Amino acid sequence: MTTAPARNGTVGAMKRDDLRDGAIALVVTAFAQLDLWLNIEGATHYGPQAATAAVTAVATLALALRRRAPLACAGIVAAAAGAPELVTVLTIQLWGDFLPLLVAGYSVARHAPARAAAAGAGALAAALVIVELRVPVSGTAANIPFIWVPFCTALAAGRALRSREHRHAAERDASVRTAVADERERIARELHDIVGHCVTVMVVQAGAAENLLERDPRRASEPLQAIQDTGREAVAELRRMLGLLRGEHATPALTPQPGTAELDELVAQMGAAGLPVRLDVQGAPRPLPPGIELAGYRIVQEALTNALKHAGAASATVSLRYGARALEIEVVDDGHGGSVNGRGHGLIGMRERATLYGGELDAGAAPQGGFRVRARLPVEAAP
């Protein structure tokens, strides 16, 4: 559930790119055909004009594939520009032949892997050589720089942009990994405090049970039961803490960790900071495992902080639902939704907390406007 927004966003971007490339290909095709039949350039025509129109249409329409299938685009454009010249000399157009060669060269260098880019560039270069050898006006010495300099520049520009994009992607991945590691370390410190609290409670209850065994053995079962329950919680939290591979340099905090009972205070703090928040509690509040309490509090805190700092929200609503098997959290603001893109460090932290307790978190634009964060923390999964 947490990866769906990113995946849907990628698919949507690909569809928009395909539509844009298709529209551009149609416009270039129409202009090239108009130029051919009206002879806007005033160029000398070679060969049958209908054949020139056909291969020109193939070359320009192939530009619709420049991002989805850049190698295929380069191959089609190269074949349309060069292959017919081996049979008969046809007219070479700026808009219908040379422009598609430049765009296909840039696209295959920009969007294809190294081997595919080299193959596509080679095919296009071969087509240019054939055109220079077969078409009289293209093979003149004066035209050679005007053909090869733009072509090589397009290839170099496409490859440079691809390298920069890969470098930025690697930097983003490294940043996300660092954010995940920092958030896990923070969670581990908090779980350290929870386990420490549980052990302290067990020691106190054990002392009480020892005293009662001498004076009132029947009542000794109560603190012993408390030791058993607290021990289960401590073991569960310790298991989660060890699973996070906590760093040795972390220093545990000494203050008690907050829970859902402290949400009223958090709401008041946000109001004082300029974001009025309404807290809506549904169901009967009940004690939850300390880790669930802390995770719920931190998710609400991070969602409200995002709304306050980035979304331009005027108000927000926090809904807390105590279900039979899960604690459900919903935070909705009325801002412009610009605070989150699905990969922000705040969302990474919230998702880490939800996943740690077997839950799920979804964040995205709210139907009525603004931004919405929803989380479900299974209570039965927390011993």
Tens of pLDDT along 3-17?
Answer: 444 444 456 677 888
Q: Flag whether pLDDT at 160 surpasses 50.
A: yes
Note the pLDDT of residue 337.
59
| Domain tally, the chain | 3
Last residue of a domain, one of 243, 269, 288: 243
| Long-range CB pairs of 53-59, under 8 A, 24+ apart, other chains included | 55/80, 55/81, 55/84, 55/90, 56/29, 56/32, 56/80, 56/93, 56/96, 56/97, 57/29, 57/32, 57/33, 59/96, 59/97, 59/100, 59/101
Note the pLDDT of residue 352.
83
Q: Do residues 11 and 118 both lie within one domain?
A: yes
Q: Do residues 17 and 122 both lie within one domain?
A: yes
Q: Do residues 54 and 97 both lie within one domain?
A: yes
Residue 156 lies in a domain: no
Most confident of 191-205, 266-280, 341-355, 358-372: 358-372
Residue 352 lies in a domain: yes
Tell me the per-residue pLDDT of 31-46, one tens digit each, with 9 for 90 and over.
999 888 887 555 567 7
Q: Do residues 18 and 130 both lie within one domain?
A: yes
Note the pLDDT of residue 339.
47
Q: Do residues 9 and 118 both lie within one domain?
A: yes
Closest C-alpha to 109, from 144, 61, 73, 82: 73
Contact between 63 and 109 (Cβ < 8 Å): no
Please spell the DSSP secondary structure of 31-71, one letter per residue. Answer: HHHHHHHHTSS-PPP-S-HHHHHHHHHHHHHGGGGTTTSHH
Note the pLDDT of residue 1.
40
Residue 29 lies in a domain: yes
Residue 324 lies in a domain: yes
Note the pLDDT of residue 68.
93
Residue 145 lies in a domain: no
Residue 157 lies in a domain: no
Q: Flag whether pLDDT at 141 surpasses 60.
A: yes
Query: Average pLDDT, stretch 84-91?
Result: 88
Q: Do residues 280 and 234 both lie within one domain?
A: no
Q: Do residues 275 and 216 both lie within one domain?
A: no
Q: Do residues 134 and 23 both lie within one domain?
A: yes
Q: Mean pLDDT for the chain?
A: 81
Q: Flag whether pLDDT at 139 surpasses 50.
A: yes
Note the pLDDT of residue 340.
47
What sign does the CA torsion over 42, 45, 48, 54 have? negative
Note the pLDDT of residue 144.
80
What sign does the CA torsion over 33, 35, 38, 39 have? negative
CATH number at residue 234: 1.20.5
Task: Please report which confidence band the pLDDT of residue 25 belongs to, taking 50, 70 and 90 as the band edges.
Answer: very high
Q: Do residues 63 and 117 both lie within one domain?
A: yes
* AA identity, residue 273: A
CATH number at residue 300: 3.30.565.10
Q: Do residues 235 and 280 both lie within one domain?
A: no
Residue 153 lies in a domain: no
Of 210 and 94, which is predicted with more confidence? 94
Tally of CB atoms within 10 A around 240: 18
Two tokens at 188?
A: 């581990």
Residue 159 lies in a domain: no
Tell me the per-residue pLDDT of 186-235, one tens digit each, with 9 for 90 and over.
766 666 666 666 676 677 677 777 777 777 777 777 777 777 777 766 66
Strands 277-282 and 316-322: parallel
Q: Do residues 66 and 192 both lie within one domain?
A: no
The pTM assigned to this predicted structure is 0.53
What residues make up the domain containing 85?
Answer: 4-140
Q: Do residues 87 and 182 both lie within one domain?
A: no
Task: Please report which confidence band the pLDDT of residue 163 belongs to, taking 50, 70 and 90 as the band edges.
Answer: very high
> What percent of the chain lies above the pLDDT cut of 70?
78
Task: Please report which confidence band the pLDDT of residue 243 belongs to, taking 50, 70 and 90 as the band edges.
Answer: low
Strands 316-322 and 360-365: unpaired
